[in-house]
Structure 1
Amino acid sequence: MSSPSHVAQQLSQFIQLEQQLRQADSLPALGFALVNHTGMLCPCDQVFLWQADAERITHAAHVTQVDAHTPLNQWLNQCCQYWSRQANAQQARTLTAEQCPEALASQWSTYLPTNVLWLPLITASPSDTTHPKLIGALLLVSQQAITLQAYPLLSRWQEAASHAFSALQAHQRSARRWQLPGLRRSRQRLLIFIVLAGFIGLFCWPVRQTVLAPAQIEAKNPSILRAPIRGVVADILVKPNSPVSEGQAVVQMDTREIESQLEASRQQYAIAAAEFRQAQQQALSDPRSKASLEVLRRRRDQAASEVRYLADTKTRMTITAPQKGIVIVDNPSDWQGRAVALGERIMQIAQADQQQLNIQLPVNDAIHLTPDTPVRFFLNSQPTTPLKAHLTQLAYRPQPTLEGTLAYPLKAEFDHSVIPDGDKALNAQSRQLGFKGTAKLYGEPTRLGFYLLRRPLSMLRVWLSF
């Protein structure tokens, strides 16, 4: 008979083990605690845990992982499946070789000793509490006979294990509702399906690629006025953006050097002409003077050609407008006294009604574009009234911009119906040379998902170098 102190010690140990059992947060942790703590309540050589839903041995004492392919586990699984189908499967009992099928009984002595205690784990179904359900069993293997009468704490241990096991299984079933289990349809699955279908449909929604780029209104096919010779600009005779007529003087070059050269050339011509006349008079009395007449005549003609060239150059020093239009020039005061080279551009004369868009498309925002691609131009001064245009010229080589970035220069022409016919004042004020804004270019159709993730995917490709 056990002493009171020994009984108190056993009860204290049982309470601690039961507390550890109920603190298990998962089925694997619970199985590990069952097979390793059961041996502290009664002497046994080995403890196995068989689960009914898995139909196999899932845990064994002093074993971290059970191999289901070993001969012992395969034989024991067949035995447990047979015992679970018996009428007394939900009752604790001692098992022997006689309680096994004939095909399995012959191997009992090979794998197990004489005494095995079947300790079932049962739980009541939430819908039917009168018919308990077998959810597993503990197999206590020992050389000596183990009974519940000899170890009464095993009954309490069986109840605690059954309760903890059923509670964790219920929690696991509730968590699986969000994991689309099998073919079971629930509100959670339907909600998840609708949300996923909505996201997939939204990402696959067809949209048109668009890109924004800075743009400026400039003249189309303007007349470029260049320096006729190497010299100095004396004065700009017109103001920027002022209208001029054909033949009107717009630039005056410094003619002092040309006038000096012209005066010297005229004196050389006068001398050559006088020498030629004198030789003609001498040739009448002196036949030997006739030999020099041809040389003097060519010298006089050369001097005359020099005079005509310098006179024509002086005339071209006053640059006139080749056509009627608007003057496009930088600050006139910056040009006064400025030395220019031959052919250097000074100003432009543009037609007021011939305009185009100069678009600077950044390299990082480049998309596939084709001629006649539609463009909408939003002026900085009137952002709510876009102007319609279409691409006419594409560049395949980027160029540096004033901001220090690389961009593709594009050209676009305005459509005829840019502004409604009834708004003539807005049409005249909106399309002025030099006005800046933002151009929206429309590319090929694509999917919304690719349109939203195009930039991140491009950065990811550069970062991963593929």
Structure 2
Amino acid sequence: MPVQGEKLILGLSALLQLNKRAFAAENEAAFGFLVVNETHLMTPYRQAVLWRHADKGSGEVVAVSGSPDPNARAPYIVWLTRILNAPKWREQTAPVGLTAADIDGDDAKEWEQWLPTHAIWIPLITGAGQRMGGMLLVKSVPWTDPEIKLLTKLADSHANAWELLLHRARGPGWRVQSLFSVPATRWRWGAVMLLCLVMLLPVRQSVLAPAVVVALDPAPIRAPLDGVVERVHVQPNQTVRRGELLITLDEAPLKSKLEVEERNIATLEEEYHQVLKLAVTDAESRIQKNILEKRLARQRAEADGIRILLRRTRIEAPRDGVALFNDVHAWLGKPVQVGERVMEIAAPDRAEMEIRLPVADVMAMEPDAEVILYPNLDPLSTWRGHVNRVAYEAREIEGVLAHAVRARFAEEQPAPRIGLRGTAKIQGGRTTLFHYLFRHPLTLLRQRLGL
């Protein structure tokens, strides 16, 4: 294998080792020692310097090869700091070679006193573009292209390792501290002021809640007596006319009672006719006649009452409209009590919204607040309306403690189908953006801390 190839392989192996050790450095001093001394394993040089970028375009020497703790007041360190703070080196993004001819002023005359002939400046820039500083390596012979490429790869790794090391040293609160520190930059304060102004912007308060279209003033159909549903003559959402038969209750118990009463009446009538013949001459028979008349009147009244109940087993529609109930089979054979609601008859063109507003989302609503309904079946359509009334007391609706809010539809729009479900947006009054975003978190915090 050619000698140049062996050197390249050794350099790559050293690069991998240096990357691993740089990310494992415990502090900045250990990192600086590694950079200026251990880089010699990858490529030979006479001396190495690690320079750190600071605020306001300045910088300082962090480490020098062969020196455990460089003295910032030493002439050599002062001279290095002066030449490396030149803008033309700080603004470099790629390795660049330099000699005494590239130094301005009297500092060029001191080059031969401190450094060999050839030097290379390698900027340390993270993947995010943050300038961490740079490395200065010097030796007596010119730098070759393979050496420069290896040093460029090493610089990328060292920059990221240095940034990670500084973040670990600063701790989790370093960003907040740097924001409120004395040398904080103007743009940070500007961003804070802009954020405060944005939070004070007036916005319209609103809340979303599930809603359903319900009938307006429906006629309830209730069971007129205790019984069992024998047959339902209409289907859900069927249009019915006034007087149309809706439900038939089981008549068998009432018919049995009526038959018993009619037999009793027949027996009393026969007994009455016999006593009536004797009452002409017998005083005791006349008394018995009066008793039978009263008993017969009572039995006939009871029979008439049963006949009235029999007529009530046929429930008819009180007006024109649509029959609103869930399922026919759910009512067949079901026992009902007097007053129990079985269905409703409602006008299809008279409807309103019932909004289930959870207790946690209740807000101050103006009278006649605007409401927008977004139906589930047709998300591209909307219906507008206005709040009509709000239930004073919350109750459990579909497993959620909520207030029932009723809203009427706008007159210029036809009312949607009864039973349509969707999401309603209730518009409230004006408030700040901060109150709109943080109302729930602040409420929860106040409930937990009792402030």
Q: Answer yes or no: same fold by TM over 0.5.
A: yes
Q: Which residue of 1 aligns with 2:403?
A: 408
Q: Deviations over 1:140-168 (max 9, x none)?
A: xxxxxxxxxxxxxxxxxxxxxxxxxxxxx
- Residue type at the aligned position of 1:456: P
Q: Aligned ranges for residues 208-223 of structure 1 at < 5 Å?
A: 208-223=204-219
Amino acid at match of 1:303: Q
- 1:268–1:371: structure 2 CA closer, same or farther, 3 Å change rule? farther
Q: Which residue is 1:330 aligned to?
A: 326
Note the alpha carbon deviations across 1:358-387, whole angstroms, 9 max, x for none: 111112222122442211111112222211
Deviations, residues 63-85 of structure 1 (Å, cap 9, x unaligned) = xxxxxxxxxxxxxxxxxxxxxxx
State the SS of the aligned residue for 1:291: helix
Give the Cα separation in 2 of the matches to 1:287 and 1:379.
84
Q: 1:246 aligns with which of 235, 239, 242?
A: 242
Q: Deviations over 1:392-437 (max 9, x none)?
A: 22123322232x322212111111023xxxxxxxx4xx71011100
Using the TM superposition, give the Cα deviation of residue 268 of structure 1 relative to its aligned residue in structure 2, in angstroms.
1.2
Q: How does 1:191-270 map to 2 (within 5 A)?
A: 191=187, 194-270=190-266
**Alignment of 1:459 onto 2:444:** yes
**CA RMSD, 1 decimal:** 4.5
| Alignment partners' CA distance in 1, 2:53 and 2:215 | 77
Q: Which amino acid aligns with 1:414?
A: F
Q: CA deviation at 1:25?
A: 11
Give the Cα separation in 2 of the matches to 1:376 and 1:199.
Answer: 31
1:336 is matched by which residue type in structure 2?
L
Query: For 1:45-72, what per-residue CA distance to the aligned partner results, in whole angstroms no more than 9, with x for missing partners?
Result: xxxxxxxxxxxxxxxxxxxxxxxxxxxx
- Of residues 420, 429, 439, the one that matches 1:435 is 420
Q: What is the rounded CA distance, in whole Å, between the counterparts of 1:440 and 1:456 in structure 2?
A: 21
Which of 388, 411, 417 is residue 412 of structure 2 equivalent to?
A: 417
Q: CA deviation at 1:212?
A: 0.2
1:276 matches 2:248: no
Alignment of 1:103-182 (within 5 A): none
- Structure 1 position 280, deviation (Å): 2.0
Q: Deviations over 1:102-126 (max 9, x none)?
A: xxxxxxxxxxxxxxxxxxxxx9xx9
One-letter identity of the residue aligned with 1:412: A
2 CA distance for matches of 1:407 and 1:181?
48
1:372 counterpart (368, 371, 388): 368
Question: Which residue of 1 is the match for residue 302 of structure 2?
Answer: 306
Which structure 1 residue ranges, 5 or more long, are not aligned? Answer: 1-21, 31-122, 127-177, 183-187, 419-426
Of the candidates 438, 444, 457, which is equivalent to residue 429 of structure 2? 444
Percent identity (aligned): 30
Q: Report the TM-score, using the length of structure 1 for normalisation.
A: 0.57
Number of the residue aligned with 1:168: none
Q: Distance in 1 between matches of 2:254 and 2:180?
A: 95
Is this contact kept in 2: 1:204–1:449, CA < 8 A? yes
Map of 1:34 onto structure 2: none
Note the C-alpha offset of 1:459.
Answer: 3.0
For residues 462 and 387 of structure 1, what CA distance do their matches in structure 2 show? 37
CA drift of 1:291 comes to 1.6
Cα pair 2:366 2:429 within 8 Å, conserved:
no
Q: Note if contact 1:371-1:394 (Cα within 8 Å) is conserved in structure 2.
A: no
> 5 Å matches for 1:352-367?
352-367=348-363
3-state secondary structure, aligned to 2:248: strand
Question: Against the structure 1 CA distance between its residues 239 and 179, is the aligned structure 2 distance closer, same or farther, given a 3 Å change threshold?
Answer: closer
- Structure 2, gaps ≥5 residues long: 1-49, 55-59, 61-81, 87-177
Q: Any conservation in 1 of the 2:203–2:433 contact (CA below 8 Å)?
A: yes
**Aligned residue number for residue 292 of structure 2:** 296
Please list the CA deviations of residues 189-212 of structure 1 after superposition, one character each: whole Å capped at 9, or x if unmatched: 4x5565444323221111111000
SS at 1:361 equivalent:
strand
1:458 counterpart SS class:
helix
List per-residue Cα deviations over 1:280-306 (Å, max 9, x = no partner).
221112233212222111101001101
Query: How far 1:354 moved relative to its partner?
Result: 1.5
What is the Cα deviation at residue 252 of structure 1? 0.4
Structure 2 letter corresponding to 1:366: V
Structure 1 distance, partners of 2:306, 2:288, is 28
Number of aligned residue pairs: give it: 315
**TM-score, normalised by the number of residues in structure 2:** 0.59
> SS at the partner of 1:335?
coil
* Partner AA of 1:231 in structure 2: G
> Following TM superposition, by how much is the alpha carbon of 1:24 offset from its aligned partner in structure 2, in angstroms?
12
**Partner of 1:339 in structure 2?**
335
- State which structure, 1 or 2, has the greater radius of gyration over its C-alpha atoms: 1
Structure 1 residue 451: Cα displacement: 0.6
- Aligned partner of residue 242 in structure 2, secondary structure: coil
Taking the TM superposition and a 5 Å limit, the aligned residue runs for 1:36-75 are none
**Cα distance in structure 1, aligned partners of 2:241 and 2:311:** 19
